[in-house]
Chain A
């Protein structure tokens, strides 16, 4: 069974940084692209970023480009999201999600339970 467990969220001041992690199990992690999706309180879903299976290709939403960095360690079956220069509008639950097929970037696999990032002074 696929399991995705996010961690690393918390309360941070504007301008601060956090690194989110997503521990994966139940599948061959290094053969699937992985995404981050976020949801601000009371709002809809927003795709944030995706990374290819080996980590050579990364893509970002315009709203986070230049401030967020997605990465992965296939030896640890872990996905990361480094978030810098945090703003109040980055306050959200951050979910990691597995892409459904190897070598594809589109969404459709299972999701984790999410980790909450709150940006406030």
Chain B
């Protein structure tokens, strides 16, 4: 069973930069896992931010960027705004049609 790991929580100051990561318990994350990132605020559907590692979804500000850092996928938010306070989820494609989500990171902006 594949386990995708994310930081449970993170804090950042307004205007600051934060990097959230997405790892695998049994392997290094590479572009072959087509990492994607989602933002979800309470009561709302998830919104796709990044897919295929670093492609921003339509309408997503360029403050959000995706990459591979070391052996993990990463979502970096620069110039963080109070509206960015949300839950962030990553997903990895592990092959044979199957995708797996991480447990999510609760980002606090204060």
Partners in one complex: yes
A45-B89, A106-B36, A106-B93 given as contacts; is B99 within 8 A of A100 (CB)?
Answer: no
* Contact segment of A10-18, A74-82, A84-92, A111-119: A111-119
Bound together, the chains give a CA A28 to CA B96 distance in angstroms of 24
- Kindly state the interface size class of chain A when it binds its partner: 20 to 34
**A40 CB within 8 Å of chain B:** no
Q: What B residues does A100 contact at CB under 8 A?
A: 51-52, 55
- For the residues of A in contact with B, the DSSP-based class is loop
Q: What A residues does B52 contact at CB under 8 A?
A: 100, 106, 108
Cβ-closest chain B residue relative to A93: B45
Bound together, the chains give a CA A59 to CA B98 distance in angstroms of 7
Q: Is the CB of A106 within 8 A of B45?
A: no
- Count how many pairs of residues, one from A and one from B, have CB atoms less than 8 Å apart in the complex: 72
Count, chain B residues at interface, CB 8 A: 26
Mask for B94-110, Cβ within 8 A of A = 1, else 0? 00111111111000000
Q: Is the CB of A44 within 8 A of B104?
A: yes
Cβ-closest chain A residue relative to B97: A59
Q: Is the CB of A95 within 8 A of B97?
A: no
Closest Cβ–Cβ distance, residue B41 to chain A (whole Å):
13
Q: What B residues does A58 contact at CB under 8 A?
A: 97
A106-B51, A107-B91, A108-B51 given as contacts; is B38 within 8 A of A45 (CB)?
Answer: yes
**B57 CB within 8 Å of chain A:** yes
Cβ-closest chain A residue relative to B104: A44
- Can you list 18 contacts pairing A with B, beta carbon distance less than 8 Å? A37-B101, A44-B102, A44-B104, A45-B89, A47-B98, A47-B100, A59-B96, A95-B46, A106-B51, A106-B93, A107-B36, A107-B91, A107-B93, A107-B99, A108-B50, A108-B51, A110-B48, A111-B48
Sample of 11 further A-B pairs with CB below 8 A, known A45-B89, A106-B51: A44-B89, A44-B101, A45-B40, A45-B46, A45-B101, A50-B97, A50-B99, A106-B34, A107-B99, A108-B34, A111-B46
